[in-house]
Homo-oligomer: A and B are copies of this chain.
Amino acid sequence: MSGTLRPVTEIYLDRLARVRAAMDAQGVDALLVSVGHDLPYLTGYHAMPLERLTLLVVPRGGDAKLLIPRLEAPRVDEQPGVFDLVPWDETDDPVALAASLIPSAGEIAIGDQMWARFLVELLPHLPSASYRRAVDVVGPLRMAKDQAEIDALAAAGAAVDRIAAELQAGRIPLVGRTEAEVSADLSARIVAEGHQKVNFAIVAAGENAASPHHHAGGRVIRDDEIVLCDFGGTMDGYCSDITRCVFTGDVAAAAPDIAEAYEVLHEAQQAAVAAAVVGTPCEDVDRTARGIIADAGYGDYFVHRTGHGIGMEEHEDPYIVEGNGLALEAGHAFSIEPGIYVPGRWGMRLEDIVVAGADGPQPMNRADHALASLG
């Protein structure tokens, strides 16, 4: 994706140089990354999430090595100057091999999603080492998206916007179908609109919408209720994520309490998007949404943070949450998704992806923000 303008290898060389600078600045002697997204960010290669270890070892002062099971080596696009490929054989011990490449008393940064079994196996090899999370080294680089990455997020966002528009126009049947059927329908559309992978397609009707991470099930959607749809996928390596709610009837007539709460939610979401300007601490963006919802009396019903970063991963830094004082920078990409959840009755959430830019917040989603009445 980001290779459209520059040779691919040059992108990885640049990222590796910036990682090494971060390692120097933080006193990190070695970086170890495996499954997860730091590895493709730095090399273009996705490790297979299996018991045979794939590990990129970046010593502060030496060449990077990509340890890989020999039978998976043909999958790797080699990037000259970025890493050397080190295939290991079925009876080798790749953890011992990794330990031999790094300082035994060093400060080691460990990839977030590496399987813990490999860290447990590494510990006795390096009894004097100390450990930190790789996200603290690589995360700040991954947070600041370049233009090619922003373009990728925009393309994925436009794809889910098209699905949201169909939903809001009543062209995705709801009443009489189960949540699971609608979820399968959304999943098929996510792929049809150009994503290679479906990440989730939450469909929650009525009282089920009060559970923010509801698993779409056998509940049949009825007339005159709210249906929350939160869906996204991965397109060319970057993620989409959108939430829109619709009402299967005339909401003003059938459920004035829902209509009233939605106005508050809509105002809170738009205010938080507007607050997401470069230099603003993440927690201030959260407070903007939360303040409006609390002032209207729904504070106890907004039970989660306002948003999460997004990029190669569905959820990544920066998190838009109380306690995160990080100031937004140009290129930071994140969701703004306040919600109101009344247990046993109904729930609602409104979500866009936004990129902080020099000219203000750039929305990656433009689907209508109103609560569509499908009466």
Residues of A within 8 A of B (CB): 48, 50-51, 70-72, 74-75, 90-91, 110-121, 123, 131-135, 211-215, 303-305, 308, 314-316, 321-323
A214 and B115 alpha carbons, distance in the complex (Å):
23
User: Which of B75, B118, B211, B305 meets A116, CB within 8 Å?
Assistant: B118
In contact, A214 and B74 (Cβ under 8 angstroms)? yes
In contact, B111 and A74 (Cβ under 8 angstroms)? no
In contact, A75 and B215 (Cβ under 8 angstroms)? yes
In contact, B75 and A211 (Cβ under 8 angstroms)? yes
Cβ–Cβ < 8 Å partners of A90 in chain B: 303-305, 321-322
In contact, A133 and B117 (Cβ under 8 angstroms)? yes
Cβ–Cβ < 8 Å partners of A321 in chain B: 90-91
Cβ–Cβ < 8 Å partners of A303 in chain B: 70-71, 90
In contact, B112 and A117 (Cβ under 8 angstroms)? yes
> Could you show 28 A-B contacts with beta carbons less than 8 Å apart?
A51-B315, A51-B316, A71-B211, A71-B213, A71-B303, A71-B304, A72-B213, A74-B213, A74-B214, A75-B211, A75-B213, A75-B214, A90-B321, A91-B321, A110-B116, A110-B120, A111-B116, A112-B115, A112-B116, A112-B117, A113-B115, A113-B117, A116-B116, A119-B119, A119-B120, A120-B131, A120-B132, A121-B133
Q: 4 additional contacts, CB 8 Å, given A90-B304, A110-B117?
A: A50-B315, A71-B211, A75-B214, A120-B131
Of listed A112, A117, A304, residue having the most chain B CB within 10 A = A117
- Nearest B residue to A73 by beta-carbon distance? B211
Cβ–Cβ < 8 Å partners of A75 in chain B: 211, 213-215
Cβ–Cβ < 8 Å partners of A118 in chain B: 116
A215 and B73 alpha carbons, distance in the complex (Å):
12
A114 and B36 alpha carbons, distance in the complex (Å):
12
Minimum-distance CB pairs A-B, first 5: A112-B117, A114-B116, A74-B211, A71-B212, A116-B119
What is the count of identical protomers in the complex?
Answer: 2
In contact, A115 and B116 (Cβ under 8 angstroms)? yes
A314 and B48 alpha carbons, distance in the complex (Å):
12
Of listed A113, A116, A123, A213, residue having the most chain B CB within 10 A = A116
Cβ–Cβ < 8 Å partners of A121 in chain B: 133
A71 and B70 alpha carbons, distance in the complex (Å):
42
- Nearest B residue to A314 by beta-carbon distance? B50
A305 and B114 alpha carbons, distance in the complex (Å):
23
A110 and B91 alpha carbons, distance in the complex (Å):
24
- Nearest B residue to A90 by beta-carbon distance? B305
A48 and B315 alpha carbons, distance in the complex (Å):
12
Q: How far, in Å, is A347 (CB) from chain B's closest CB?
A: 11
Cβ–Cβ < 8 Å partners of A117 in chain B: 110, 112-113, 133-135
- Nearest B residue to A119 by beta-carbon distance? B116
Of listed A50, A51, A113, A305, residue having the most chain B CB within 10 A = A51
Cβ–Cβ < 8 Å partners of A314 in chain B: 50
A323 and B92 alpha carbons, distance in the complex (Å):
10
Cβ–Cβ < 8 Å partners of A119 in chain B: 116, 119-120
Cβ–Cβ < 8 Å partners of A91 in chain B: 321-323
Cβ–Cβ < 8 Å partners of A51 in chain B: 308, 315-316
Q: How far, in Å, is A283 (CB) from chain B's closest CB?
A: 10
A72 and B213 alpha carbons, distance in the complex (Å):
6
A50 and B308 alpha carbons, distance in the complex (Å):
11
Cβ–Cβ < 8 Å partners of A134 in chain B: 117
Of listed A113, A121, A134, residue having the most chain B CB within 10 A = A113
